[in-house]
Amino acid sequence: MKSVDAHLADILATVRPLAPLELEVEQALGATLAEEVSSPVPLPPFDNSAMDGYAVRAADISEVPVTLPVIDDVAAGSEELRAVGPGHAVRIMTGAPVPAGADAVVPVEWTDGGTVSVRIDRPVQAGNAIRRAGEDVQAGDVVLKAGTLIGAAQLGIIAGVGRRRVLARPRPRVVVISTGAELVEPGGQLAPGQIWDSNSFTLTAAVREAGAEGFRAGSVGDDPAVLLDKLDTHLVLADAIITSGGVSMGAYEPVKEALSPLGTVRFEKVAMQPGMPQGFGVLGDDQVPIFALPGNPVSSFVSFRLFVRPALDKMRGLPGGMPETVTAYVTGPLRSPAGRRSYLRGVLASDGTVSPVHGQGSHQLAALASANALIVVSEDVTEVAGGTEVEVIRL
């Protein structure tokens, strides 16, 4: 059997970062910057008021209370400004440019709020409540490095330096297909022997949680020809494909039957539980990676976490690899098959303990849904006593 690490290494050696595209800012959330972003201007671009209040010369209000004439009113966006002469005040709003002559802003709360003249009750230091030009960014400064993942705040600074488009690796488009003649769309009636398709929903959601775009292409029964047809339809728009089911040792294994003859997809046994049967390879002229995951719901979920997610990270131009683990004390005994790495479902608590959930079968999706962690038991360990320190992957 192939080790989990060797299988992941093969996958990561095959998948490539997606080519960068000029993305509209609106489309860039979750993309990875492929250029350095710098600011053409200082930010803020001009000295402006940090508060609603009065622009004054600080020396004029050293003795308070003092009443000054209000010679102008400046809102944010004002262009024409009258200079503040000695003994003058200008009513000013947050974000408005500070007029020439003024060296401080007095918050409105420290005044009587007058519009013709204003009584100021507290003195301020020169520079008070003024946001200086270039305080955040100097003209030409790099605000984001290449390789940065674009989240909301990063998107904000891209727009904040005036950019409409940005060169970035887009989120991979991932098509999810489930196989199985027993599958029925949720919402439909179950005939004897049927179950509702859950994997295509789980995997599409997992793709989205991983920062990629998931397209659920539904389920195709157990006919290899129908699967090939479906793959053909979706290959054009896919950066990666995930299938579930049809990869094990029985008869009616449509994924194995359809893809084995192509010679570009390998089906192997990986030394893990759950999720031993795994297929991986590439399809079509564009060498689109395909992950043929096992059908049991917990198996396909764990396989996604271990193999697909790091591959998607690499496609996005992010550092990928084995999921990070934390250590915790297990609250009860664990069993694991010799020679296979186990990923047992557990609940990680804030006190640093992890409790295995009831129901560790690879079909027990409800048990998975009650867990928030996978407890890793290495290949050479078959029994773990309660109270032992274990490695845990947070979900």
Please report, as ranges, the residues that interact with ligand AMP according to CB under 6 A: 178, 180, 182-183, 195, 197-200, 244-248, 294-297, 363
- Bridge partners of residue 242, in order along the sequence: 176, 291
Name which of 258 and 328 has its Cβ closer to Mg ion.
258
Nearest approach, Cβ of 245 to Mg ion (angstroms)? Answer: 4
* Subset of residues 282 to 311 that bind Mg ion, contact rule: CB under 5 A: 295
Binder of Mg ion out of 170, 245, 277, 297 (CB under 5 A) = 245
Which residues, in sequence order, are CB contacts of 394 under 8 Å at separation 6+? 324, 326, 348, 372, 373
Torsion angles phi and psi, residue 5, rounded to 5: -65, -40
Size of the site for Mg ion (CB under 5 A): 4
- Bridge partners of residue 353, in order along the sequence: 329
> Distance between CA atoms of 271 and 301, rounded to whole angstroms?
16
* Subset of residues 73 to 132 that bind Mg ion, contact rule: CB under 5 A: none
Q: Is 339 helix (H, G, I), strand (E, B) or coil?
A: coil
Pairing of strands 142-144, 53-56: unpaired
> Distance between CA atoms of 164 and 152, rounded to whole angstroms?
15
198 binds, among ligand AMP, Mg ion, none (CB under 5 to 8 A by kind): ligand AMP
Nearest approach, Cβ of 143 to ligand AMP (angstroms)? Answer: 44
Nearest approach, Cβ of 295 to Mg ion (angstroms)? Answer: 5
The stretch near Mg ion (CB under 5 A) out of 59-67, 153-161, 201-209, 242-250 is 242-250
Name which of 199 and 336 has its Cβ closer to ligand AMP.
199
Torsion angles phi and psi, residue 259, rounded to 5: -100, -25
* Subset of residues 136 to 195 that bind Mg ion, contact rule: CB under 5 A: 180
- For residue 218, the tally of other CB atoms under 10 A from its CB is 13
What are the start-end ranges of the H helices in the chain?
4-14, 152-160, 199-209, 224-235, 254-259, 297-303, 309-315, 365-369
Residue 356 contacts Mg ion per CB under 5 A: no
Q: How many residues make up the chain in this entry? A: 395
Name which of 32 and 202 has its Cβ closer to ligand AMP.
202
197 binds, among Mg ion, ligand AMP, none (CB under 5 to 8 A by kind): ligand AMP
Name which of 191 and 236 has its Cβ closer to ligand AMP.
191
- Give the residue carrying structure tokens 């030394």: 271
Name which of 192 and 319 has its Cβ closer to ligand AMP.
192
Which residues, in sequence order, are CB contacts of 265 under 8 Å at separation 6+? 259, 279, 280, 281, 282, 283, 290, 292
Q: Burial of 349 by CB count in 10 Å (0-12 exposed, 13-18 middle, 19+ buried)?
A: middle
Nearest approach, Cβ of 278 to ligand AMP (angstroms)? Answer: 11
Nearest approach, Cβ of 223 to ligand AMP (angstroms)? Answer: 13
Nearest approach, Cβ of 206 to Mg ion (angstroms)? Answer: 19
178 binds, among ligand AMP, Mg ion, none (CB under 5 to 8 A by kind): ligand AMP
Q: List interacting residues with Mg ion (CB under 5 A).
A: 180, 245-246, 295
